[in-house]
Every structure is written in structure tokens, then in C-alpha cells.
């Protein structure tokens, strides 16, 4: 099958193909016009400065980049030799025309350059540039929404800012899909902190703010929070000379940090109807996190942690064993035995903090499946051989199937030929990594769950409306 053109591969599938993570390369001059119209020339000039930093940083040496908290960013990041693919990433009308050629029935268009706006510190510039990118995305896909879905940027520096942009994008501009910043790099709480002194607020556990109003607004508006954040620039991914080192695993690391924080912060317990997707990082990290959560709960959750309370040690027995087996170098410090037993194990821990799963309200490890495998979905690229781990019920605790969703990532360097993305996916069936049923879930059923859980009419008026309606009708 995979040697066939994408059109023939699609014709052989008994279901639509939904691309849950395509990209657009925004036409920056049009975005700048919107920034100036929204906020004036001064703010537009500040946006020019943001762009110039990206360019100026190329001339900085390694030491200068480290001092400024910079790293080697994306370079040669988009199709070039295949000019039609580059043009298609810039021009939604051309992408709409070519979708059947790619074997794709419906595609979500995530920002590219716009992702950077979510990290801008200056409030007025961040808000104006985010809204400008959103307005440009809405205008450039007008009349094309039967096959293309623009995705709105939602800044998360404060819950109030996020709620305001959600209201504007969904109620006023008609967006159905949203991309929330997955974290905020906040300055260290010290006077005049340098740019390099930052901590990562992952919006759930220990966040600077209570983001429940944001999750509640998403639930009210019927939109699924999706995250497409980068961990480039974080410790271990801040090389001033090597982009590949910074890029490897960065989406997985950022998604894992947010997912872990939201789960342990009890967000999926308080908002069980929400679906949340972490894009472009694959699903291998999610399988590991899910398994680790189960393992940690089995040892430290629901009162089990009391097995490690140092007060549980039988001191008489411990001293007896020490006297019998300790070497001479230990025996010289026999009077310090009690202090040794308290290292990283002081007995006076605050009782209120002993159950670190308390916000999840879990009594049995099996409940983790309900709070993790149901609400979370994970965006995977076509050529990732680890996609099959999502469906590995033998390895995933309690026979869970994690919900992988397919993303083409068209528009970016890792898709040198857009006509190949469907080939790379069906090849995993031929190699025995996925079954036909799992392929259907990957390309169609799981995306339907993601996008319709909060809005059953999400696909109304689209090219996949009838197929989605039939899919929904078969569900409980």
C-alpha cells in the first residue's frame, strides 16, 4: 500500500484522515499590519525588535549567548527544494487545494512563528501580537473551513489574560480550536533578576496562579486545550552552537512537564469532561509517565507512604543489626546512627503534605487510567516508530490504550515531502507496528474524541461531517 500515491492510499481507507497537527508559515508583513492596526506604530516597532533579536543572535558567540540566556534556535527550518510545499505552508488556499493530493480530509493549522509570541514578556506587545496572529489566521482561512481549521493562540501569563483571549477567539472570531501556552517562564523572585534566572510555571501544581478559571472557560466554550510548547532553552537544551541538541525531545519534555503538573494538580479530576492534547512530542513519554504514576502511587499514594516513616524503624532491632554487621569505620560513629537514619527522612513532615496524590482523589491505582488515559491525547508524527506504544495493552498498566493522534507537521523541516506523510504512517501497518484498527483510531477515531468531546457539532459544515456523525452515534 505504501508505494501507492497518497490519493490511492486514502481511497483504500474506510475512514477519513484527520491531521491534528499541520502548520502554517504565517506571512509576517500581514501580521505586522494587524499589530499596528491593533496597538499602534510603537508596539509594531517593538515587534520589529523581536524579529531583529532572532537575526542578531546569529552573530553572537557562545559566551555571549550564554550570558544573554540565548541558544541556537531554528535555522533552515522549512521546505526549500520543494517550492510547492513551501508555498503551500504560507498559502492556506493552496493547501486547501492540495489536501486531497496528500490523502488528508481535514487539517488543523497550528502557528509557527506565532508560537514565539506566547513567550514575550512585555504585556502589551504579547497581547497585541497574539491577537494579530489570530486575526491573520482567521482571515487567511475564511471560506476554506470545510477542510482547514485555524488554531488560535492563547497566552497564559495570567488566567485573566487567557480567559479574555478565549472569549474573543471563540465567541467573536469563531475559532473552534485553541492552542494554550503550556508553561510560562517566570523571573526568579529576586530583585532585578537576569534573564537567565527563570523558573518554569507549568500551570498546574505549584503554579503562581489558579488556572481553574481557564479550564472552566474551555469547558464552557466547548474547546479542547491543546499544547505545543517547546523546551528548547531549558537546562540541557540550551546549546549555543547545536540546534539538533536543543531540538531533540524538546516537545516531549515540555509536554511531559505540563501533563505531569496538570495531573498531580488534580485538573483532570476537577474537569473530567475536558480533553487535552500535547502535540508533536509523540507518545513514548506519555507511556512512561503513565507507568511511573502508577508505580509511584503503588508505593507512595493513599497512605502507603507511611511504610517509609522513620518512626516505623525498630530501633532496637536496627541497633542489634548494626552492632553485629557494621565495620569498624562505622562503629566509631555508632552514636550518630539516629542522625543517619533521618537523612532525607525527617519524622516531622507536615501531615497535610504526606499524600502527594491528594488533589487527584485516588484510592486505587486503577483510577489513574481514568484520570490519565481518558482525558489526555498525544500528537504523534507519521514516521515515529514508537507510536505503537500507545496501543500496547500488554505493557501499559491496566491494559490502557493511550490516545495517539496523527499530526503531519507539514510546513516544517521534518517533512521534506508533504506527499509522503500518509505513506510513512501506513508503512507502520505493513511492518506490523500498528493494526488496521489502531490505524483507524490514530487517523480518525481519536481525533474525533479530542475535538468533539466538548462540542459534538465541531465538524458540522466540514468535509468529514457525515463520517464524524456516524462515529459519534456508535459511542455510548
The whole-angstrom separation of Cα 23 and Cα 408 is 8
Judge whether 401 and 373 are in contact, CB under 8 Å. yes
Q: pLDDT-derived band of residue 192, with 50, 70 and 90 as boundaries?
A: confident
Cα distance between residue 409 and residue 228, in whole Å: 12
Based on the domain organization, do 40 and 179 belong to the same domain? yes
- In a domain? residue 48: yes
| Cα separation, 445 vs 447, whole angstroms | 6
If asked whether residues 332 and 376 sit together in one domain, one would say: no
Helices (H), 335-375: 337-341, 367-368
Contacts of 70 (CB under 8 A, 6+ apart): 57, 60, 64, 240
Better-predicted residue by pLDDT, 168 or 383: 168
Are residues 81 and 126 located together in one domain of the fold?
yes
Q: Does residue 358 form part of some domain? A: no
Mean pLDDT confidence for 442-470: 98
Per the structure, the count of domains in the chain is 2
Task: Identify whether 267 is part of a domain.
Answer: yes
Which of 353, 388, 420 delimits the end of a domain? 353
- Whether residue 359 is contained in a domain is answered as no
Residue among 408, 391, 409 at smallest CA distance from 400: 391
Residue with cell 509557527: 112
The per-residue pLDDT for 385 is 92
In the sheet with 376-381, reading across from the earlier edge strand, the strands are 18-23, 106-110, 148-154, 177-180, 225-227, 276-278, 376-381, 403-407
- DSSP letter for 55, please: H
Q: What is the pTM of this model?
A: 0.95
Closest-CA residue to 475 (of 452, 442, 443)? 452
Based on DSSP, count helices (H) and strands (E) in the chain, helices before strands: 21, 10
- Asked if 174 and 223 sit in the same domain, the reply is yes
Vertex 110: Cα angle to 11 and 100 (nearest 5): 20
For residue 259, give the H/E element and its range.
helix 250-264
Same domain, 324 and 281: no
Which pairing describes strands 376-381 and 403-407: parallel, antiparallel, or unpaired?
Answer: parallel
Per the CB < 8 A criterion, the answer to whether 400 and 373 are in contact is yes
Asked which of 77-81, 256-260, 370-374, 433-437 is least confident by mean pLDDT, the reply is 77-81
CB atoms under 10 Å from CB of 4, counted, come to 15
- Note the pLDDT tens digit of each residue in 241-276: 999 999 999 999 999 999 999 999 999 999 999 999
| C-beta separation of 78 from 89 below 8 A | yes
Q: How confident is the model at residue 18 (pLDDT cuts 50, 70, 90)?
A: very high
If pLDDT is split at 50, 70 and 90, which confidence band does 100 have?
Answer: very high
Percent of the chain with pLDDT over 70: 100
pLDDT above 60 for 2: no
Same domain, 292 and 227: yes
Residue 67 structural domain: 6-299+364-473
Residues 43 and 82 placed together within one structural domain of the fold: yes
Conformational region of residue 263, where left means phi above 0, alpha means psi within -120 to 50, and beta covers everything else: alpha
Q: Which of 353, 388, 415 is the last residue of a domain?
A: 353
Question: Which pLDDT value is given to residue 201?
Answer: 97
Phi, psi angle pair for 259, to nearest 5° = -60, -45
Q: Which residues pair with 198 in a beta bridge?
A: 187
* pLDDT-derived band at 1, boundaries 50, 70, 90: very low
Whether 377 shows a pLDDT value over 90: the answer reads yes
- pLDDT reported for residue 394: 96
Residue 236 has pLDDT above 70, yes or no: yes
224 with 119, same domain: the answer is yes
- For residues 142 and 225, membership in a common domain is answered with yes
Q: What is the pLDDT of residue 68?
A: 85
Same domain, 156 and 31: yes
Pair 348, 379 in one domain: no
Residue 1 lies in a domain: no
Q: Mean pLDDT for the chain?
A: 95
55 and 84 both lie in a single domain? yes
CATH number at residue 241: 3.20.20.140
Amino acid at each position: 500500500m505504501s508505494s501507492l500515491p497518497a490519493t490511492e492510499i486514502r481511497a483504500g481507507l474506510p475512514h477519513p484522515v484527520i491531521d491534528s497537527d499541520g502548520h502554517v508559515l504565517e506571512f509576517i508583513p500581514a501580521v505586522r499590519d494587524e499589530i499596528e492596526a491593533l496597538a499602534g506604530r510603537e508596539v509594531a516597532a517593538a515587534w520589529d525588535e523581536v524579529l531583529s533579536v532572532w537575526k542578531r543572535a546569529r552573530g553572537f558567540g557562545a559566551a555571549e549567548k550564554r550570558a544573554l540566556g540565548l541558544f541556537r534556535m531554528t535555522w533552515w527550518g522549512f521546505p526549500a527544494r520543494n517550492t510547492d510545499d513551501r508555498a503551500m505552508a504560507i498559502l492556506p488556499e493552496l493547501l486547501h487545494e492540495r489536501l486531497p493530493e496528500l490523502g488528508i480530509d481535514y487539517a488543523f493549522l497550528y502557528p509557527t512563528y506565532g508560537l514565539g509570541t506566547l513567550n514575550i514578556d512585555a504585556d502589551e506587545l504579547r497581547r497585541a501580537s497574539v491577537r494579530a496572529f489570530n486575526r491573520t489566521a482567521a482571515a487567511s482561512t475564511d471560506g476554506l473551513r470545510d477542510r482547514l481549521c485555524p488554531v488560535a493562540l492563547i497566552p497564559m501569563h495570567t488566567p485573566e489574560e487567557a480567559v479574555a483571549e478565549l472569549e474573543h477567539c471563540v465567541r467573536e472570531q469563531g475559532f473552534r480550536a485553541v492552542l494554550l501556552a503550556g508553561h510560562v517562564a517566570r523571573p526568579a523572585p529576586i530583585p532585578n533578576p537576569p534573564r537567565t534566572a527563570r523558573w518554569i510555571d507549568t500551570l498546574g501544581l505549584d503554579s503562581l496562579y489558579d488556572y481553574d478559571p481557564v479550564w472552566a472557560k474551555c469547558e464552557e466554550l466547548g474547546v479542547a486545550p491543546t499544547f505545543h510548547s517547546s523546551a528548547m532553552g531549558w537546562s540541557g537544551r540550551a546549546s549555543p552552537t547545536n540546534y539538533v541538541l536543543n531540538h531533540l525531545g524538546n516537545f516531549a519534555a515540555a509536554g511531559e512537564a505540563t501533563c505531569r503538573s496538570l495531573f498531580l494538580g488534580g485538573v483532570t479530576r476537577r474537569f473530567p469532561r475536558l480533553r487535552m492534547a500535547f502535540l508533536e512530542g509523540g507518545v513514548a513519554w506519555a507511556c512512561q509517565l503513565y507507568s511511573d504514576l502508577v508505580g509511584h502511587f503503588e508505593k507512595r499514594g493513599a497512605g502507603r507512604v507511611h511504610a517509609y516513616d522513620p518512626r516505623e524503624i525498630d530501633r532496637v532491632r536496627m541497633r542489634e543489626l548494626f552492632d553485629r554487621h557494621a565495620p569498624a569505620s562505622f562503629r566509631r560513629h555508632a552514636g550518630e546512627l539516629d542522625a543517619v537514619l533521618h537523612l532525607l527522612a525527617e519524622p516531622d513532615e507536615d501531615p497535610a503534605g504526606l499524600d502527594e496524590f491528594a488533589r487527584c482523589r485516588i484510592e486505587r491505582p486503577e483510577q489513574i487510567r481514568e484520570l490519565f488515559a481518558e482525558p489526555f491525547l498525544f500528537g504523534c508524527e507519521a514516521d515515529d516508530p514508537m507510536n505503537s506504544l500507545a496501543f500496547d495493552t500488554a505493557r501499559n498498566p491496566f491494559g490502557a490504550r493511550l490516545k495517539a493522534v496523527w499530526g503531519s507537521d507539514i510546513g516544517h523541516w521534518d517533512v521534506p515531502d508533504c506527499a509522503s506523510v500518509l505513506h510513512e504512517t501506513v508503512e507502520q501497518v505493513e511492518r506490523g507496528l500498528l493494526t488496521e484498527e489502531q490505524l483507524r483510531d490514530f487517523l480518525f477515531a481519536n481525533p474525533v474524541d479530542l475535538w468533539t468531546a466538548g462540542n459534538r457539532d465541531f465538524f458540522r459544515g466540514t468535509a468529514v461531517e457525515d463520517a464524524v456523525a456516524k462515529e459519534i452515534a456508535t459511542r455510548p
